[in-house]
Amino acid sequence: MSQTPQTTPPLLELRKVSKSFGAVQALKDVDFVAPAGTVTALVGDNGAGKSTLIKCIGGIHPFDHGQILFEGKEVAIHSPKDAAHLGIEIVYQDLALCDNLDSVQNMFLGREIRNWLRLLDETPMEIAAGQTLRDLNVTTLKSLRMPVASLSGGQRQSVAVAKAVLWKSKLAILDEPTAALGVAQTAQVLALVRRLAESGLGVILISHNLNDVFAVADRISVLHLGRMAADVATADVDSQEVVELITTGRYRRQPAHAVREET
């Protein structure tokens, strides 16, 4: 399993971040690390705080307390624009694409290339989109110019992920990328996730499906009731242990912090 050398700081590091909504403490003193070139799975039961954590990283609502370090420097993320500016791209489960637009239009949405007349310049956009998809080995698309409504779930997810690569994001956060997909399409998207990490991006994968997590993740971070229950290397645990962590927040062999130091 790949591991960032200790000399370079991790791509994203959260230190003791907290977030509450009124009386509800959604996150409490959470530490979280997502190194570059690594797939970090974020798992936890419903209501454990996964979505809140992601939304805070994405700038949809800010953390109440705690530090965010991006590439070793402390940063403030107050809006989705701040996150995008840092190179954080979130691929949402259902809300990533406009069905009536084609793949190229979706990948360049909000960042269209224009020519000297300030009209859309389709040629470079189509070339760049096609190149990115080919680099990611997404070869099943028949046409870049069909509305994405006509694509399969896996293809749509691929286009959404490719957008992160096209924009040279440093950190891609994938929210349940395989939730609605069949077996073959899931494999296709997981392979894509692996390639993203291999191309040097930091990837945070949120998933309910432990098969997916064990298939691609290098590390697993488990949230339980708003606290970080464990942060382990995938190789050191089996799925039974992770299920236990998710449901009870405990771990029968050793306490979580001990596992972390050991890896």
Binding site for another protein (CB under 8 A): 80-81, 84, 90, 92, 95-101, 105, 109-112, 114, 118-120, 123, 126-127, 143, 145, 147, 149-150, 152
Give least dist CB 86 to another protein, A. Answer: 14
Toward another protein, which CB reaches closer, 178 or 234?
Answer: 178
Whether residue 173 contacts residue 57, with contact meaning beta carbons closer than 8 Å, is answered with yes
Q: In this structure, is the dihedral angle defined by the CA atoms of residues 123, 127, 130 and 133, taken in order, positive or negative?
A: negative
Toward another protein, which CB reaches closer, 48 or 172?
Answer: 172
Give least dist CB 117 to another protein, A. Answer: 9
Give least dist CB 79 to another protein, A. Answer: 10
Burial 35-72 (b: 16+ CB within 10 A, else e): bbbbbbbbbbbeebbbbbbbbbbbbeeebeebebbbbe
Sheet with 73-75: strands ordered across:
24-34, 12-21, 65-70, 73-75
Toward another protein, which CB reaches closer, 146 or 235?
Answer: 146
Give least dist CB 109 to another protein, A. Answer: 4
CA distance 157 to 52: 22
The residue among 132, 138, 169 whose CA lies nearest residue 154 is 138
Give least dist CB 191 to another protein, A. Answer: 22
Toward another protein, which CB reaches closer, 133 or 210?
Answer: 133
Toward another protein, which CB reaches closer, 99 or 135?
Answer: 99
Toward another protein, which CB reaches closer, 174 or 217?
Answer: 174
Cα torsion 121, 124, 126, 127 to 10°: value is: 170
Q: Which amino acid is at 10?
A: P
DSSP conformational letter for 12:
E
Give least dist CB 123 to another protein, A. Answer: 6
Whether residue 4 contacts residue 48, with contact meaning beta carbons closer than 8 Å, is answered with no
Can you read off the two tokens belonging to residue 37? 């070139």
